[in-house]
Amino acid sequence: MITKLLPALGAIAAVASFSAPAQAATVVTTNYTGANMNIVPGADGTYSANFGKSGIVKGNFQHIYTFTLPAYLTGSASITTSAVKLKAANDLDLFSVVFNGIALTGTYGGLNEAVFVNDVPIVAGKPNTIVINGMSRGNGSYGAQATFAPVPEPASWAMMIGGFAFVGGALRRRQSVRVAFA
């Protein structure tokens, strides 16, 4: 009876040994909400935020930060990593960072990574997202900050352009005085 089970047990062991590497490549996706970001409003309609993660376990990861702000704004963000030694247990590599569909640029890969973006449109009352994809070698971490500032409303732009037109027209109509000498 046992001799009949040996081939079946061998097949199960072979499948298990081949499936282990596939599990190591699995991406762990973690969704965060605005509560995971420390967002502070300013008196002038601006906002600032800090967020990040420490103790990221070994493997690929995806962290998604979702937040909602009450006004149409523009945003900027930067994310940094650091490690004691390249490819050490606490080294973390960023693969991509996308803020509302716009990729952050900067230094990807290496010992200390720094990526950033400016002028990202923030939609009022709707979810805005920052998606971070990377790989930790064991105990990785990253830190991030963002700032948000009001966008001038279309009426403000119209008034400013109208003001320039008015000043231009007034300068053009100004009469020059001729001086005649006897």
Average confidence (pLDDT) over 23-44:
76
Does the predicted model carry a pTM greater than 0.75? no
- Bigger pLDDT: 1 vs 129: 129
Residue 11 has pLDDT above 90, yes or no: no
What amino acid is encoded at 79 in this protein? I
Of 130, 131, 128, the residue nearest 69 (C-alpha): 128
Q: Hey, what CATH topology would domain 24-166 get?
A: Jelly Rolls (2.60.120)
Burial class, 85, CB count within 10 angstroms (exposed 0-12 / middle 13-18 / buried 19+): exposed
Residue-level pLDDT at 6: 43
User: pLDDT tens for residues 114-138?
Assistant: 999 999 999 999 999 999 999 999 8
Of 157, 147, 156, 154, the residue nearest 46 (C-alpha): 147
76's torsion region: left (phi>0), alpha (psi -120 to 50) or beta? beta
Average confidence (pLDDT) over 48-75:
93
